[in-house]
Structure 1
Amino acid sequence: MTVAENILNFYQSLTPPSGLPPDVVVLNPYKDEQAMEACTLFYQKYYSDSRERIALFGINPGRFGGGLTGVPFTDPIHLEETCEIKNNLDKRPELSSRFIYEMIAAFGGPALFYQKFYLSAVSPIGFVREGKNLNYYDINGWPDIFEEYVVACIREQLELPISRNVAFSIGQGENLKYLNALNAKYKFFDEIRTVPHPRWVMQYRLKRKAEFVNQYIESLSKA
């Protein structure tokens, strides 16, 4: 099987973790016909091979990016205009996607980037509360809710195949802390490195965006 086939099988089998509070709404684009069609075309275009890649784990998808398209850090605009995957999804820009695709352009474009890297998330499905994006680590009781779920998701993705030498946390706070704790316990990767979260850059360090794009390129190139 190709990497694309393995990824799509993984996504189509996803279910939310049990024990979520009743006020948490799940974002699972892989149950949406339009999103799954676009997502399938994306992975067939960029991952129809057996090449091992380095994984980058974000937090969880947001409602205007990966939570809508099924492609992590990719809003419908970049999915169509940059990745050349036509779609009928709501063409609303998303901050993290803007940064990621500027970085991908600087790296050499989607074909080269996706040949070497695999974007994912600690929780591959997203969450919303009161109409706003919700990080997995802001959900009440999250350590008990997520450990078994996240471990199972990472183990399945390692079979895509994913490099065991190094992985990246996208985010230098709670996401990195949690990934490091899980990695120390379950020994997924030899090393976890980190890059800043795109939303943090775009919201709080916009004037230094070029600096952080360069930081990504340098860190990923060394890996």
Structure 2
Amino acid sequence: MKNFGKAAFEFLKDLKIQSKLPNGISCLLPFENPEVLKVNKLFFDKYYNDRLSRKMILGINPGRFGAGITGISFVDPIKLEKVLEIKNSFVKRAELSSDFVFKVIHDFGGPELFYRKFYVTAVSPIGFIKDGKNINYYDDKKLCEVLNEYIVQSLKDQLSFGIDRSEAFCLGEGENFKFLKKLNEEHHFFDRIVPLAHPRYIMQYKRKMMVDYVHRYLKALNGNIPEK
């Protein structure tokens, strides 16, 4: 089995899409920033420098204020420095999804235990911008069609790190789960996929129920499917 951290870092630092994107849509490519490369190398050396097998947690795609800045899924610059103890010069702005995910990480037992068990990524590891705002890969039909082959290949590449394929966790119970489930039926990436409410949805629309949603996540991640 490969060194997980080295394989993941090599994959991420070379992220790019060869296909032409629909007009008006551009990519978020944080790894063009040398500091992003630096903090990611530190992150993977700190939490993934081993040959352990991990389960995948898949979000939708990076946004401008989390992984779009740091290059690390659901990690904003504040969590990167204060929780993961990786100093950085990025503008210290909190991101809602990151707030929720780090509550889950804390209650799971902290970053070292969490990242020893899970690899957090996205169905599309590259994020997208349209009219200066985040756009999900499935929001634009043409974009989704263009990305299909890329997403399949990126999943295959990441599975080679040493992923436990018995189950994966999909963040987003709607379109993200629908798309990933269809791909899985075609390519048999995982034995099963467990859908969970997306952190941004929880923080924007269900914040009063945050504790309940954290509990649902913990039940799922510990091997019990949460009740809807």
Tell me the TM-score normalized by structure 2. Answer: 0.95
CA contact (8 A) 1:21 1:140 kept: no
Are 2:148 and 1:147 aligned?
Answer: yes
CA contact (8 A) 2:22 2:143 kept: no
Identify the range of structure 1 (45-54 vs 129-138) with the bigger mean alpha-carbon deviation.
129-138
Flag the 1:24–1:143 CA change in 2: closer, same or farther, 3 A: closer
**Structure 2 counterpart of 1:120:** 121
C-alpha offsets along residues 83-125 of structure 1, whole Å, 9 cap, x if unaligned? 1111111111100000000110000000000000010001101
**Structure 1 counterpart of 2:39:** 38
Amino acid corresponding to residue 56 of structure 1 in structure 2: I
Superposed, which structure 2 residues align to 1:60-209 within 5 Å? 60-209=61-210
| 1:164 Cα offset (Å) | 1.1
User: Kindly, what percent of the aligned residue pairs are identical?
Assistant: 44
Distance of 1:203 and 1:141 partners within structure 2: 28
Hey, which bits of structure 1, 4+ residues long, moved more than 3 A?
none
Aligned alpha-carbon RMSD (Å): 1.0
Flag the 1:140–1:184 CA change in 2: closer, same or farther, 3 A: closer
Identify the range of structure 1 (2-11 vs 20-29) with the bigger mean alpha-carbon deviation.
20-29
CA contact (8 A) 1:27 1:127 kept: yes
Distance of 1:128 and 1:215 partners within structure 2: 31
**Structure 2 counterpart of 1:29:** 30
- 3-state SS, counterpart of residue 30 of structure 1: helix
Which runs of 5 or more structure 2 residues have no equivalent in the other structure? Answer: none
C-alpha offsets along residues 23-43 of structure 1, whole Å, 9 cap, x if unaligned? 112101112111111111111
**Structure 2 counterpart of 1:220:** 221
CA contact (8 A) 1:35 1:89 kept: no
Distance of 1:144 and 1:133 partners within structure 2: 18
C-alpha offsets along residues 185-213 of structure 1, whole Å, 9 cap, x if unaligned? 00111111111100000000000000000
- 3-state SS, counterpart of residue 138 of structure 2: helix
CA contact (8 A) 1:17 1:146 kept: no
Distance of 1:31 and 1:168 partners within structure 2: 29
| 1:143 Cα offset (Å) | 3.5
Distance of 2:3 and 2:32 partners within structure 1: 22
Tell me the TM-score normalized by structure 1. Answer: 0.97
Distance of 2:92 and 2:11 partners within structure 1: 26
Tell me the number of residue pairs that the alignment of Structure 1 and Structure 2 aligns. Answer: 223
Distance of 2:132 and 2:38 partners within structure 1: 25
| 1:127 Cα offset (Å) | 0.6
Identify the range of structure 1 (142-151 vs 39-48) with the bigger mean alpha-carbon deviation.
142-151
Flag the 1:159–1:81 CA change in 2: closer, same or farther, 3 A: same
- 3-state SS, counterpart of residue 55 of structure 1: strand
Amino acid corresponding to residue 176 of structure 2 in structure 1: N
| 1:17 Cα offset (Å) | 4.9
CA contact (8 A) 2:137 2:144 kept: no
| 1:22 Cα offset (Å) | 2.6
CA contact (8 A) 2:59 2:123 kept: yes
